[in-house]
Structure 1
Amino acid sequence: MTAEPTQTQEAAEKAADSNTNRRQPFPQGFLDTISTGWADRPDTLPAAREQAPFTARRRAAVSAAFAGRRLVVPAGGFKQRSNDTDYPFRPHSAFAHLTGWASDAVADSLLVFDPTDDGHDVTLYLRDRATRETEEFYRDATIGEFWVGPRPSLAAVAADLGVATEHLERFEAGEDDLVVEEDDELTTFVSELRLIKDDYEIAQMQLAVDTTARGFDDIVRELPRIIDHPRGERVIEGVFHLRARSDGNWEGYDTIAAAGPHACYLHWTRNDGAVRPGDLVLIDAGVEVDSLYTADITRTLPVSGTFTPIQRRIYETVREAADAAFENARPGMSFRELHDTAMRVIAERTAEWGLLPVTPEEALDADRGGHQRRYMVHGTSHHLGLDVHDCAQARREMYYEGLVEPGMVFTIEPGLYFQEDDLTVPEEYRGIGVRIEDDILMTADGPVSLSAGIPRTADEIEAWIAQSR
């Protein structure tokens, strides 16, 4: 990493008084010449991006729902990682959804709806491009062009996104503004607005899934190297990261690479364990593409290339539960039914194996049952889109208790997890964790698996590994 930028003489003196050793003054020769000697840069205006018509319709829906109210949708700012370094900037999902400005968005921008007699005037406030005559150009390590590269001009952003733009300095907050993440009603609305995806979003979801599939192919191909490394879980994470960064924007969430008993920890992201032949490795990963839409896929692989009989039994039971939920999915059903369908299979099989102290029917009783949940404590489905757990601020009656509609994209991800110290299961089950997760688009004709091309059955998984070797 390069050194921290220096300051003017006055600022440097203040820095010295505060006992910092990182900032030093610029010499006068630099200050006299830094603004000169630069070639002209024409401001070429781009054509509107592909999603501009879709974002315009989304903004119109927001405007219609909040007539007469002034609305502010912040992109958000940088978040500190440590001391004077930040995490990579990612705009708020509602901001990205309503502007189409995604991985290339400028931090601290604001989308503002100013009420008019017939709706709203919508303006995107952002920092204009810093000219070489400004001190920001060379001094500011967070936003200065010398440090992080040029920002687009107001005119370029307006042409690109199809929305009016204004300099951020001209924005004035109002006492009655409704602000996303500060006003519950607005926050809920923009979250629920994403429950049903438009054609652009569906195409981006398929792109994210297809890119993720290539990342899983990379992992399978690298299994020998993964096995050889003492922290093979971290090698899995790194292999997938290469695909996510080269073909997308980033991962949509921290990759779970959980081998052996680690697979029984639902959100194992430490990823510091060995990947040993004879064990299973559970990989939950998704590429976030440049539009910020993310996939969310889980596959569980036999490290040696072949499932043992008990591993295969558990794996195929999880697949049976996933298939049952998929086959039962239909427009107009309760979203919660997806989970109930998968749980019926889990209850029936764990009872059949002698793991439950009650019958499957008793275990499925809404009030007195739930015994099978010891081995699958999480839900079966969640919405997916700009966030891996998309639409999280939606009302419960619109989400878990809501109806499945065409255009919704959600996961189906049952699992079975037998902790290595769980004395309620036979010893041969202990330390085995399995999850299978696919990304599903509901259409008027029924569900479509966006991730159907990634091997799923035990036989397909074994053939996948064999072919890669």
Structure 2
Amino acid sequence: MTEPTAPETTPFEQDAAPTSETTGQPLEERGSNRSRRPSSKAFREFMASQWAPAPAPVVERDAVADHTERRRAAISERFPGERLVVPAGSLKVRSNDTDYRFRPHSAFAHLTGLGTDYEPDAVLVLHPTVDERDGEAVPTGHEAVLYVRPMAGRDTEEFYGDARYGEFWVGARPSLAEIEARTGIRCVHLDEMLDAVGKDAGQVPIRVVPGADQATSNAVDAIRGAHEENGERDAELLEALSELRLVKDAWEVEQLREAVAASIKGFEDIVRALPRAAEHARGERVIEGVFGARAREDGNGTGYDTIAAAGDHATTLHWIRNDGQVRHGELVLVDAGVEVDSLYTADITRTLPVDGTFTETQRKVYTAVLDAADAAFAAARPGIRFREVHEAAMAVLAARLEEWGLLPVDAATALTDEGQQHRRWMPHGTSHHLGLDVHDCAQARAEMYLDAELRPGMVFTIEPGLYFKSDDLAVPEELRGIGVRIEDDVLVTSDGVENLSAALPRRPEDVEAWMASLTRG
């Protein structure tokens, strides 16, 4: 990556840093080349001249805009008469003068439809609207306004001098008019946001999404004052925004289908690469890299750090170091998902025999997990509670562990709240909601999540597993070092569920045939 530097022969000014004409803040001068930016009048005049006119962009309203309008209306109904502040978030430093790729906060993306092709620091504000009725102000809804930092002109120093925001360094940003045309939301310069939020402070309650952007939260706190209930009120907003995503609309389901389809291609790439992985000192990295390439080619990237866990590493639930060998005769557990440009992600796990064929013991464990997954699928339908999906899977696994003589009690006792011995080998939940976040809707109340009834449009995972660590003396030696998880992405329909990832084989014989077809010749 290039740094903000300049030829040695250019005159420099070292005492005063230029400021951004957009933000009013000092322009970025980071790293070893601090104070080495050319700032002569001649240089500034030359940089501002002889640029071709920018072509007029052809901008159409985003397909998601009608859906986001309905989403904003739904959250508006929850908080009549209140001002709601939803930041996109800011850039985050990765190391010294380099930032992570920007990803907006999921609540912002859900309410605006703006994803990876958008710049940081934007803030969506829902301003309350009122009507006068019988001398009283009656809330009628909200007006949505997007406060954004538009691209600076090429006659400004920000264009070439700001390594964090300047077009010369990071590319063009859309204009206010372009964003407004895409989203259907009125767009205003970011500089006007704080005045608009604070114009009637003390009269209109203000909530801000916590954790999205600390600078925005601090500014809102300065406007509304320090009150103990602020944190609780902000948490209620985040909770409501999370619950708003529990049921996906048609556009969201389509995005998830695209994410799943791309992920299935990634798993096919992994199988083709297994021979190379088995010969590499860090074969798990080969698997991670192959899937990551597919994710970047077909989408925005991976929706979460890929788990490529071979052998005993598969018994570590969140193994993301991926620095181990992929050995012949062992299993490799791959938990991975492509995040598409709209930021919706898949979440799929397959446990694969490195050589393409399960051993008898591996097949025994794999089949137990598959039977548990099938029981969860059979239970899942509209009207049952979310937690019942997990209970169906656990009943199968507890029975199998009892059959194998591993439980210190019978399965029925283990399944009681006072028991739970089977959870030694299956400690996680069987399902979680899926969408903009891999663990979507995580701030929802328990009565809206675990204790809620399934409804058409909900999308979640089914992912039971069994994990026998290599040093687990409570199991026979033949089981030690075997970890198996099978995970699919599920859409609740009017009469049951649809397995969105069904194109990826699940039964052991089908997995073996599929792997053989991909590595043949």
TM-score, scaled relative to structure 2: 0.87
Q: Which of 97, 114, 117 pairs up with 1:84?
A: 97
8 A contact 2:14–2:35 mirrored in 1: no
Counterparts of 1:414-433 in structure 2, within 5 Å, are 414-433=464-483
Counterparts of 1:44-443 in structure 2, within 5 Å, are 44-117=57-130, 118-172=140-194, 173-174=197-198, 175=201, 176-181=205-210, 183-366=234-417, 368-443=418-493
The total of aligned residue pairs comes to 467
Q: Distance in 2 between matches of 1:61 and 1:45?
A: 31
SS at match of 1:81: strand
CA positional deviation for 1:10: 3.3
Deviation digits for residues 357-413 of structure 1, max 9, x if unmatched? Answer: 1111111112x2101000000000000000000000101111111111110000000
CA positional deviation for 1:5: 5.2
Query: Given residue 392 of structure 1, which amino acid in structure 2 is its aligned partner?
Result: A
Q: Distance in 1 between matches of 2:471 and 2:77?
A: 56
CA positional deviation for 1:104: 1.0
SS at match of 1:11: coil
Which residue is 1:23 aligned to?
35
Which residue is 2:511 aligned to?
461
Query: Given residue 387 of structure 1, which amino acid in structure 2 is its aligned partner?
Result: D
1:33 matches 2:55:
no
8 A contact 2:3–2:33 mirrored in 1: no
Query: Given residue 208 of structure 2, which amino acid in structure 1 is its aligned partner?
Result: V
SS at match of 2:94: strand
Between 1:103-112 and 1:413-422, the stretch displaced more is 103-112
Q: Distance in 1 between matches of 2:283 and 2:409?
A: 40
CA positional deviation for 1:228: 1.1
Which structure 2 segments of 5+ residues have no match? 7-11, 19-25, 131-139, 211-230
Q: Distance in 2 between matches of 1:42 and 1:265?
A: 53
SS at match of 2:305: coil
Between 1:221-230 and 1:187-196, the stretch displaced more is 221-230
CA positional deviation for 1:23: 3.2
CA positional deviation for 1:20: 5.8
CA positional deviation for 1:465: 1.4
Between 1:76-85 and 1:271-280, the stretch displaced more is 76-85
Between 1:456-465 and 1:288-297, the stretch displaced more is 456-465
Q: Distance in 1 between matches of 2:460 and 2:32?
A: 50
Q: Distance in 1 between matches of 2:442 and 2:161?
A: 39
Shift in CA distance, 353/58, structure 1 to aligned 2, threshold 3 Å: same
Deviation digits for residues 263-310 of structure 1, max 9, x if unmatched? Answer: 000000000001011100000000000000000000000001110100
Between 1:117-126 and 1:350-359, the stretch displaced more is 117-126
CA positional deviation for 1:27: 4.9
CA positional deviation for 1:9: 4.3
8 A contact 1:4–1:23 mirrored in 2: no
8 A contact 1:45–1:160 mirrored in 2: no
SS at match of 1:376: coil
Which residue is 2:9 aligned to?
none
1:448 matches 2:494:
no
Q: Distance in 1 between matches of 2:513 and 2:55?
A: 55
8 A contact 1:5–1:140 mirrored in 2: no
Query: Given residue 132 of structure 1, which amino acid in structure 2 is its aligned partner?
Result: R
SS at match of 1:114: strand
SS at match of 2:4: coil
Query: Given residue 284 of structure 1, which amino acid in structure 2 is its aligned partner?
Result: D
Q: Distance in 2 between matches of 1:447 and 1:233?
A: 33
Deviation digits for residues 67-115 of structure 1, max 9, x if unmatched? Answer: 1101110000111111111111000000000000011121000001111
Which residue is 1:11 aligned to?
16
Between 1:127-136 and 1:285-294, the stretch displaced more is 127-136
Q: Distance in 2 between matches of 1:62 and 1:426?
A: 54
Q: Distance in 2 between matches of 1:326 and 1:25?
A: 62
Identity of matched residues, %: 59
Q: Distance in 2 between matches of 1:47 and 1:191?
A: 29
Which structure 1 segments of 5+ residues have no match? none
8 A contact 2:306–2:334 mirrored in 1: yes
Between 1:57-66 and 1:347-356, the stretch displaced more is 57-66
Shift in CA distance, 86/342, structure 1 to aligned 2, threshold 3 Å: same
SS at match of 2:394: helix
Between 1:233-242 and 1:126-135, the stretch displaced more is 126-135
Q: Distance in 1 between matches of 2:183 and 2:278?
A: 47
Which residue is 2:136 aligned to?
none
CA positional deviation for 1:22: 3.5
SS at match of 2:16: helix
Query: Given residue 262 of structure 2, which amino acid in structure 1 is its aligned partner?
Result: T
The Cα RMSD (Å) is: 1.8
SS at match of 2:15: helix
Q: Distance in 2 between matches of 1:350 and 1:270?
A: 30
Query: Given residue 91 of structure 2, which amino acid in structure 1 is its aligned partner?
Result: F
